[in-house]
Structures are given as structure tokens and as C-alpha cells.
Chain A
Amino acid sequence: MSTTAHAEDVHPVGGAPAHDHPSDLKYVKIALLLGLITTFEVATYFYEDASTTFLVLTLLPMMTAKFLIVTGYFMHLKYDNKLFRRVFFFGLILATVVFLILLSTFAFWGDEYFKYLR
């Protein structure tokens, strides 16, 4: 039997959570990945010629990736019971839909919004 502590080898004791946890090393690797993505995000700030469209198209996927990594690994949604995932994403999707409708109601996406501001 191997003595190496892999993710699946980290067994809970007593009243500990029933699902598997990633190993400490994996957590550190995930944090490094998050730090790397953040570095790329901040780098866009120094790219002065970047258009808003370019920034939205590059920053939103990076933001989404960070969001999913933290919820999946640090919050254990990847490993935990599916009910937790459904409960959380129900609230998240509801919030997204409601506030996209709100922004659309105020014509946030088109030129009309900015013309209205002027």
C-alpha cells in the first residue's frame, strides 16, 4: 500500500466531511493558477490601446474561470453532493437573469444608453 497522500487518499476522521478533498499540494497548484490568471487580468490594464470590446472579451472568460475554479475546488462543489451545486447555481442563475433583464430594461447594452447620458 502506497504511503503517498493523493487526493483520494485523504480520508476524513470523526465528524469530518464525507467527500474527498484534494491534497494540500493540489490546493497550492490551484492557487498558483488563480494567481497566474489574475496576473493576466491585471496585465490588460497596462495595455493602453485595448478597446472596451477587447477587454470584455478577454476579462470575462478569465473572471468566469477563476469563479468556477474557486467554487469547484476550494468550495468542493466538484466533489460534494449535487444538491449543494443545484441550490447555489439556482441562486446565481436567477440573479444573473434578473439583473440582465434589469440592465436590458435600461437599454444598457446599446448606444441609446450612452446617448441618454449625454
Chain B
Amino acid sequence: MTDAAVHAPAAAAGPSHHTSTGLSNTKLAMWVYLGSDCLLFGSLISTYLLLRHRSVTGPGPNQVFDIPFTSVSSFVLLMSSLTMALAVAAITRGDIHRNRAWLATTAMLGAVFIGGQVYEFTTFYREGLGYTTNIFGSAFYTLTGFHGVHVSVGIVMLMSLLVTSLRGNLGPERAETVETIGLYWHFVDIVWILIFTVVYLIP
């Protein structure tokens, strides 16, 4: 029996990580980071909840929010989670072409979401809500702005993956890299699930 035949079952069962936990350190580090990011967004959301009704000047949430528009943006980001999951599934199967297609689609949906946020911010500004107009504006722009930065960083990471793939350096052996970046992308989505409900839908 050849060495290749002996090692084949191990390869099919996935990678073995020579770490004290037997798990990928990269993936574990990403989960630790995401757990800590919960504290960042928790602080921003609770600050917003405490401050949103304390404005004495300028427009408030009821005057500026356009729920139908934000609903479409939310739906776009939600569907980007689907395309990211499909990208991870494709690279896991070794389907590089579909992986590229889903990565590009995910980045594009993320860009559409950011475009929507830029449009929303511009509209709010024209309606008289600047960053320093009132305390609601400051809390709102800080919370949603931080989320927007997270989405933008995610888009950069997705584009990096796409370029790496086009150069031929992203094969099935690096599926875990795609999965780890996918975790970040899904986290950005679940944070928006919280923001959409707590900030936009509950008065």
C-alpha cells in the first residue's frame, strides 16, 4: 500500500490541527474576536437606547427614518449571508469557480448595502440631522457608522479572497480561510439584525 493510499482517509476527514485544542487557532481567534465585538456593539446599542429621546433640538427618529428603504437594505445584507454560506460550501467541495462567483456576489451585495447607508446618511443630513445636531444624531451615526465600517472591512477581505483565488492561490486546501472570513461576514449580518429591530422598528 502506498503512502498516498494510507493517508487518503485522513485527508477526506478534513484537516488535523496540531494545537493543544485540536482546533484551528485562526478560527478560534476569530470566534474570540467576534465574542469581544459583542461588547463593542452592546455598548453602542445601549448608548443609543439611552440617548435617542434626549434631544431637545433637531429631528428625531420618527422624522427621519425611512423604514421601507432600510428594510430593502436589510434584506440585501441578509441575502449576502446566504451567498457567503454558498461560497464556503463551494470551496469545501473544491468548486473554485462557484466559490469565486459567490464571493463576488457577496462583495457586491455588501457594496449595495453600503451604498444604501451612504444614501440614507446623505438624506438625513439634508433633512437637518448632522453628527452634532443633537444627541440622537450623534448616537445614531456612531452606531450605524461603526457597523458600516465593519461591512466595508468585510468587503475588502472578500475582494482580497477573490483576487487570491483569481491568482490561483485559493484552492480547497484553504477552505478554512474562506470560512473564517465568512464568520466575520455573518457576524456583521447578525449585528444588523439587532440594529434593524432595536433602532429602526421599535419606537
Contacts and interface: CB of A to CB of B under 8 A. Distances in A.
A60 B175 CA distance: 35
B43 A99 contact: yes
Contact of A63 (B41, B50, B193): B193
Interface of A: 10-19, 21-24, 27-28, 30-31, 34-35, 38, 41-42, 44-45, 52, 55-56, 59-60, 62-63, 66-67, 70-71, 73-76, 81, 83-84, 87-92, 94-96, 98-99, 102-103, 106, 108, 114, 117
Contacts of A92: 35, 38
B23 interface: yes
B88 interface: yes
Given A16-B14, A71-B186, 10 more contacts: A13-B175, A16-B15, A44-B201, A52-B203, A59-B197, A59-B202, A63-B193, A83-B23, A88-B34, A91-B36
A80 to B, nearest CB: 9
A76 to B, nearest CB: 8
**SS class, residues of chain A in contact with chain B:** helix
B103 interface: no
Contacts of B179: 17, 76
B128 interface: no
B57 interface: no
Interface string B172-202: 1111100100110011011001101110011
B145 interface: no
A14 B46 contact: no
